[in-house]
């Protein structure tokens, strides 16, 4: 049987992300052969209701971005109910900066984000993974369900990805400069601009939802 068909069947049956390594073992093929078959399957699914969703070294079957309005209609109420401004702000940081540590999220937002992150994980929008650089800590990143809900097949397809990512980096740099010893008077002058930056970050998610 064609390798792509085997992979399609496994992804449909699995219903969740699976690494290329595990997928290769399941179909008794090399990782390179598996990647090529996944690419072939991705091409064969064009103009259909399903797509291949890729994130780092994992893949899964997802719904086509063309049908995002339908999927959004079915799931939006549950996903965004009572998220609030803080939830949207945190979610946008995870989307555009993830994988990212909680301390980095706290640093960008200026407040503790533990409760917000727990709420986002419960909703299946954010997942926690082991930090490869420090086994004692974790990193947070967007889930496949969130990517499907937003109607994108990979993080880089998010609206204005490069610009929003740059805005967040600029905001982080601004905070670093303040901590390094900018005078209270100068810091107070920058507060309105900081608020604008934070609003722009959280607004990026709201613009996707509309």
| 137 and 178 housed in the same domain | yes
Q: Which long-range contacts (CB under 8 A, 24 or more apart) does 111-115 make?
A: 111/86
Residues 152/158, Cβ–Cβ less than 8 Å: yes
| 73 and 46 housed in the same domain | no
pLDDT digits (tens, 9 = 90+) for 33-77: 999 999 999 999 988 899 999 888 899 898 888 887 887 777 666
- Please name every residue paired with 62 in a beta bridge, in sequence order, or none if there are none: 51
CA pair distance 8, 5, nearest whole angstrom: 5
pLDDT digits (tens, 9 = 90+) for 72-126: 777 666 555 667 888 888 988 998 888 999 988 988 888 888 888 988 887 888 9
What's this model's pTM, rounded to 2 decimal places? 0.51
Question: Where does a domain end: 33, 63, 93?
Answer: 63
Residue with more model confidence, 180 or 78: 180
Which among 71, 34, 65, 80 is positioned nearest to 205, based on CA atoms? 80
- Please name every residue paired with 138 in a beta bridge, in sequence order, or none if there are none: 130
Question: Which residue segment(s) compose the domain that 12 sits in?
Answer: 3-63
| 25 and 90 housed in the same domain | no
| 90 and 105 housed in the same domain | yes
CA angle 98, 99, 101 (to 5 degrees): 100
CA pair distance 5, 86, nearest whole angstrom: 43
CATH number at residue 25: 1.10.10.10
CA pair distance 38, 26, nearest whole angstrom: 13
Residues 55/155, Cβ–Cβ less than 8 Å: yes
| 97 and 130 housed in the same domain | yes
- Please name every residue paired with 54 in a beta bridge, in sequence order, or none if there are none: 59
| 53 and 133 housed in the same domain | no
For residue 5, what are the contacts with CB-CB under 8 A and spacing of at least 6?
A: none
pLDDT more than 70, % of the chain: 80
For 5, 70, 71, 158, the CA distances from 94, given in Å and listed in that order, are 34, 25, 22, 12
- Stated as kind and residue range, the H or E segment containing 185 is helix 184-209
| 49 and 148 housed in the same domain | no
| 42 and 77 housed in the same domain | no
CA angle 128, 131, 134 (to 5 degrees): 145
| 36 and 100 housed in the same domain | no
Q: How many domains does the chain fold into?
A: 2
Residues 119/87, Cβ–Cβ less than 8 Å: yes
């Amino acid at each position: 049987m064609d390798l792509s068909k085997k992979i399609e069947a496994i992804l449909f049956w699995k219903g969740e992300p699976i690494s290329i390594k595990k997928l290769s073992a399941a179909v008794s093929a090399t990782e390179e052969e598996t990647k090529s078959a996944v690419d072939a399957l991705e091409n064969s699914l064009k103009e259909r209701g399903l797509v291949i969703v890729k994130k780092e070294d994992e893949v899964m079957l997802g719904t086509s971005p063309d049908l995002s309005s339908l999927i959004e209609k079915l799931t939006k109420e549950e996903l965004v109910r009572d998220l609030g401004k803080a939830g949207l702000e945190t979610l946008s940081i995870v989307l555009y900066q993830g994988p990212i540590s909680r301390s980095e999220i706290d640093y960008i937002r200026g407040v503790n984000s533990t409760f917000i992150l727990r709420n986002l994980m419960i909703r299946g929008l954010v997942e926690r993974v082991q930090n490869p650089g420090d086994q004692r800590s974790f990193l947070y990143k967007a889930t496949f369900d969130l990517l499907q809900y937003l109607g994108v097949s990979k993080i880089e397809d998010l609206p204005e990805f490069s610009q929003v990512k740059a805005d967040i980096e600029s905001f982080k740099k601004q905070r670093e400069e303040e901590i390094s010893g900018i005078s209270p008077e100068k810091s107070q002058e920058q507060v309105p601009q900081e608020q604008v930056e934070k609003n722009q970050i959280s607004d990026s998610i709201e613009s996707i939802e509309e």
